[in-house]
């Protein structure tokens, strides 16, 4: 019998015998002790993958490729139009840097199971930091640079890091992001105090160091290099030992710490590189995201290195650094085979260069495919990219929680016909179902909640950091036997999935995941605000943007404009610029049902200029007219 080859055969092979499928996939990983047990159904909340295997992720990302003769191949190409610099790190050099930092971390007493928080811009040291933690068995937790001090403090208090790796600053177009002062404020606010901080001093804005706590990362490195400490053996870790915790927005201001293990993560990501992204060892792969997001963890750092690819670490934007040809320049210069980014990046490029005139300056002959995720890929943008780039444009759908694609078009197994608006079909490992509120499967074409039959495949979260009950309650309780994705959508007659939106308060702003509930908590803390609601309104560039409505307490004397400005500043200060919260409208009342539930869905329809019907349960219909007139002038439907 020949080996199964195309998607249908491979999916059927997985369905028929998941254990054999994942055992074979696990053979691609170098184990210090191969796992006897592929899946232990009795462990954890829904079972655990590769529980008795011993492994190390950094060894699989680096050592094995050096040993296989790839030592001189670029592992990381840092390309930073924002600072006008570039740097190439070969596999051998990356390994050396990871060992040096690993030695330094160990000399500070950091070891297996300790948390290390990273607050870093897109520089190679961010990836080196993550890999050094992986090497010594420390659990990293990267916080995106667009989050403010308060968000950072919340994560410090949840992860309880022993040590922090940070840069003195980040660079955004036209401004310096003051990472170090933000870190200082966060540590001041947090109850937990990390023992030490390593600060990467960037020439754009070196930072003052706090005596006794902060250390100049460069000086520590120079001292360790001078001591010539030699190689650093990778720590043997169980497949189930955590590799990292990545916080993502939940339905309250308290973020969820998504846990990722070592074994399953490696197996799934390695499998995805060839099957889904169609790349092999030696190819250049570029995920134009940020190391602070899951896309950055999985597809800037871990998956390309596990596969032996060259990964591009891009510190720039799709437009303005310096022009809308920036992506084509990077693809051409570094011979990128596959690019992964969010649709919003392509909307930004198209807006500035609708005819893609900049494309003609570059040779993209080796470029094979564009992958989009992070938000719904609107068919207009997909068609534009297809026409201009003349390569497959592949939408795929996943979440921070899963770590890799739930639904995609596995180009490496043979590209399936693309249907605009659909990320195509479930990947092996995911039994995706569309169900009604009672958990019953719905007919093709009918909208419902999208759920995944348990167990989740390798690579997906086994739990939330120190919050098993919250994990079960958030994901497993509503549909027993299934993982709730909190996305809604439908499946067509051909089995293609269509993802239409979230069933909770999460919105996607320029591909960044945010909670409107979290923003409401911030607005409610304003002394003049009695009540508030935040909705995600359609935006032509960012997909969605948050819109705030606030009702003031009696007797407030400040003008509505001043309060609005205050609210905008408060969200920026508390959550961060990434929230892109620019509009807070003062209204007299909020529309509610008779039982007091705010009618956010109807408010959204009004803001988007969509057709809406009067909810039967509304308390006072006149309030919706008030909302409509408050929106006039403050917000243009579609952005
Ligand atoms: N550190 C600090 N601030 C950051 C930041 C970071 N790493 N990333 C973004 N910000 C800031 C921006 O400077 C901006 O601040 P401003 O309000 O002072 O202008 C704010 O956060 C909002 O950022 P964003 O929503 O990204 O808008 P933008 O106007 O800066 O850029 C795009 C718009 C479309 C060009 C940009 O969103 C983009 O490149 N997106 C690519 C998609 C992506 O990376 N998705 C990640 C998941 S795949
Ligand atoms: P994040 O955890 O930041 O990756 O965000 C995950 C959420 O983004 C999903 O639950 C979806 O709501 C949305 N999302 C991601 N990719 C897609 C896609 N391809 N199509 C539609 N929505 C998507």
Q: Is the CB of 290 under 6 A from ligand 1?
A: yes
pLDDT, residue 5, reads: 77
**Consecutive sets of 10 residues in the chain, 639 residues long: mean pLDDT of each?**
77 97 98 98 98 98 98 98 98 98 98 98 98 99 95 97 98 96 98 98 98 98 96 98 94 86 98 98 98 98 98 98 98 98 98 98 98 95 98 98 98 96 98 96 97 98 97 97 97 97 93 93 96 96 96 94 96 95 96 93 94 89 92 81
195: helix, strand or coil: coil
Task: Calculate how far, in angstroms, residue 401's C-alpha sits from the geometric centre of ligand 2.
Answer: 10
- CA-proximal residue: ligand 1, atom 3 (nearest): 146
pLDDT, residue 4, reads: 52
Q: How far apart are CA 288 and CA 342, in angstroms?
A: 8
Q: Is the CB of 499 under 6 A from ligand 2?
A: yes
Task: Calculate how far, in angstroms, residue 452's C-alpha sits from the geometric centre of ligand 2.
Answer: 15
Task: Calculate how far, in angstroms, residue 525's C-alpha sits from the geometric centre of ligand 1.
Answer: 26
- CA-proximal residue: ligand 1, atom 19 (nearest): 577
- CA-proximal residue: ligand 1, atom 33 (nearest): 510
| Angle of CA points 258, 259, 260, to nearest 5° | 120
- CA-proximal residue: ligand 2, atom 11 (nearest): 375
Ligand that comes closest to the CA of residue 506: 2
Q: Is the CB of 399 under 6 A from ligand 2?
A: yes
Q: How far apart are CA 471 and CA 356, in angstroms?
A: 45
Task: Calculate how far, in angstroms, residue 232's C-alpha sits from the geometric centre of ligand 2.
Answer: 38
- CA-proximal residue: ligand 1, atom 13 (nearest): 172
pLDDT, residue 414, reads: 96
Q: Is the CB of 515 under 6 A from ligand 2?
A: no
Task: Calculate how far, in angstroms, residue 394's C-alpha sits from the geometric centre of ligand 2.
Answer: 14
Ligand that comes closest to the CA of residue 348: 1
Question: Can you say whether residue 271 is alpha, beta or left, with left for phi > 0 and alpha for psi between -120 and 50 degrees?
Answer: alpha
Please give the model's pTM, rounded to 2 decimal places: 0.96
Q: Is the CB of 138 under 6 A from ligand 2?
A: no
Atom of ligand 1 nearest to the CA of 172: 13
Q: Is the CB of 458 under 6 A from ligand 1?
A: no
Exposure string of 307-318, with b = 16+ CB inside 10 Å and e = fewer, is: bbbbbbbbbbbb
Task: Calculate how far, in angstroms, residue 623's C-alpha sits from the geometric centre of ligand 2.
Answer: 33
> Locate tokens 């948050």: which residue?
546
- CA-proximal residue: ligand 2, atom 4 (nearest): 399
Atom of ligand 1 nearest to the CA of 177: 2
CB atoms within 10 A of CB 554: 5
**Contact (CB, 8 A) for 599 and 589:** no
Q: Is the CB of 487 under 6 A from ligand 2?
A: yes
Q: Is the CB of 582 under 6 A from ligand 1?
A: no
pLDDT, residue 1, reads: 47
Residue to probe by mutation, ligand 2, list 394, 398, 408, 422, most atoms within 8 Å of CB: 398
339: helix, strand or coil: strand
Domains contained in the chain, CATH given: 7-248+258-316+396-488 (3.40.50.12780), 510-632 (3.30.300.30)
CB atoms within 10 A of CB 61: 29
Atom of ligand 2 nearest to the CA of 508: 8
Task: Calculate how far, in angstroms, residue 349's C-alpha sits from the geometric centre of ligand 1.
Answer: 14
Q: How far apart are CA 120 and CA 144, in angstroms?
A: 7
Q: Is the CB of 348 under 6 A from ligand 1?
A: yes
Task: Calculate how far, in angstroms, residue 485's C-alpha sits from the geometric centre of ligand 2.
Answer: 10
Task: Calculate how far, in angstroms, residue 631's C-alpha sits from the geometric centre of ligand 1.
Answer: 25
Atom of ligand 1 nearest to the CA of 341: 48
Q: Is the CB of 369 under 6 A from ligand 1?
A: no
394: helix, strand or coil: strand
pLDDT, residue 45, reads: 97
Q: How far apart are CA 17 and CA 438, in angstroms?
A: 29
Ligand that comes closest to the CA of residue 343: 1
> How is residue 148 annotated by DSSP?
-
3-state secondary structure 112-131: CCCEEEEECCCCHHHHHHHH
Q: How far apart are CA 516 and CA 549, in angstroms?
A: 12
Ligand that comes closest to the CA of residue 424: 2
pLDDT, residue 2, reads: 55
CA distances from 68 to 28, 61, 88, 92, 606 (A): 14, 12, 20, 11, 60
């Amino acid at each position: 019998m020949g080996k199964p080859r195309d998607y249908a055969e491979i999916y059927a092979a997985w369905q028929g015998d998941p254990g054999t499928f994942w055992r074979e996939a696990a053979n691609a990983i170098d184990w210090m002790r191969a796992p006897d047990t592929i899946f232990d159904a009795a462990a954890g909340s829904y079972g655990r993958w590769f529980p008795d295997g011993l492994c190390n992720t950094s060894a699989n990302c680096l050592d094995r490729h050096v040993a296989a003769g790839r030592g001189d191949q670029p592992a990381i190409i840092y390309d930073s139009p924002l600072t006008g610099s570039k740097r190439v790190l070969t596999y051998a050099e990356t390994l050396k840097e990871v060992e040096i930092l690993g030695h330094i971390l160990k000399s500070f007493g950091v070891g297996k199971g300790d948390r290390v928080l990273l607050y870093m811009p897109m520089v190679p040291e961010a990836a080196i930091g993550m890999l050094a933690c992986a090497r010594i068995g420390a659990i990293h937790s990267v916080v995106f640079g667009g989050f403010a001090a308060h968000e950072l403090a919340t994560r410090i208090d949840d992860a309880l890091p022993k040590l922090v790796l940070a840069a003195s600053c980040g660079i955004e177009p036209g401004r310096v992001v003051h990472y170090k002062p933000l870190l200082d404020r966060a540590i001041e606010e947090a109850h937990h105090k990390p023992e030490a901080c390593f600060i990467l001093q960037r020439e754009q804005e070196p930072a003052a160091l706090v005596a006794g706590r902060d250390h100049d990362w460069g000086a520590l490195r120079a001292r360790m290099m001078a001591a010539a400490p030699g190689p650093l053996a990778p720590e043997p870790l169980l497949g189930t030992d955590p590799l990292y915790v990545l916080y993502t927005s939940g339905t309250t201001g308290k973020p969820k710490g998504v846990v990722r293990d070592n074994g399953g993560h490696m197996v799934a990501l390695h499998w995805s590189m060839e099957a889904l992204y169609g790349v092999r060892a030696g190819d250049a792969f570029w995920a134009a995201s940020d190391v602070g997001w899951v896309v950055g963890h999985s597809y800037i750092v871990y998956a390309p290195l596990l596969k032996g690819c060259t990964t591009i670490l891009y510190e720039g934007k799709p437009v303005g650094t310096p022009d809308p040809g920036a992506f084509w320049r990077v693809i051409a210069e570094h011979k990128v085979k596959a690019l992964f980014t969010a649709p919003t990046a392509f909307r930004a490029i198209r807006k500035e260069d609708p005819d893609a005139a900049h494309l003609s300056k570059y040779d993209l002959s080796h470029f094979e495919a564009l992958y989009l995720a992070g938000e719904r890929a609107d068919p207009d943008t997909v068609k534009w990219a297809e026409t201009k780039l003349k390569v497959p444009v592949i939408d795929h759908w996943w979440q921070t929680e899963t770590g890799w694609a739930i639904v995609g078009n596995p180009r490496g197994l043979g590209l399936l016909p693309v249907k605009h608006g659909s990320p195509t079909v479930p990947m092996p490992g995911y039994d995706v179902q569309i169900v009604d509120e009672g958990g019953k499967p719905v007919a093709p074409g009918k909208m419902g909640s999208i759920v995944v039959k348990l167990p989740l495949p390798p690579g997906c979260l086994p739990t939330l950091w120190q919050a098993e009950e919250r994990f079960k309650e958030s994901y497993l309780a509503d549909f027993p036997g299934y993982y709730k994705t909190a996305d809604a959508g439908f499946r067509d007659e051909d089995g293609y999935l269509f993802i239409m939106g979230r069933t909770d308060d999460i919105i996607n702003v320029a591909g960044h995941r945010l909670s409107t509930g979290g923003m409401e908590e911030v607005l409610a803390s304003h002394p003049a605000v009695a009540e508030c609601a935040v909705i995600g309104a359609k935006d032509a560039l960012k997909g969605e943007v948050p819109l705030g409505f606030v009702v003031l307490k009696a007797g407030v004397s400040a003008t509505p404009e001043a309060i609005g400005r205050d609210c905008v500043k408060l969200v920026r200060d508390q959550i961060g610029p990434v929230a892109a919260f620019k509009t807070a409208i003062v209204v007299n009342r909020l529309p509610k049902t008779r039982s007091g539930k705010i009618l956010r869905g109807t408010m959204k329809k009004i803001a988007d200029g969509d057709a809406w019907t009067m909810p039967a349960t509304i308390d006072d219909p006149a309030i919706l007219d008030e909302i409509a007139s408050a929106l006039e002038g403050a917000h243009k439907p579609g952005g």
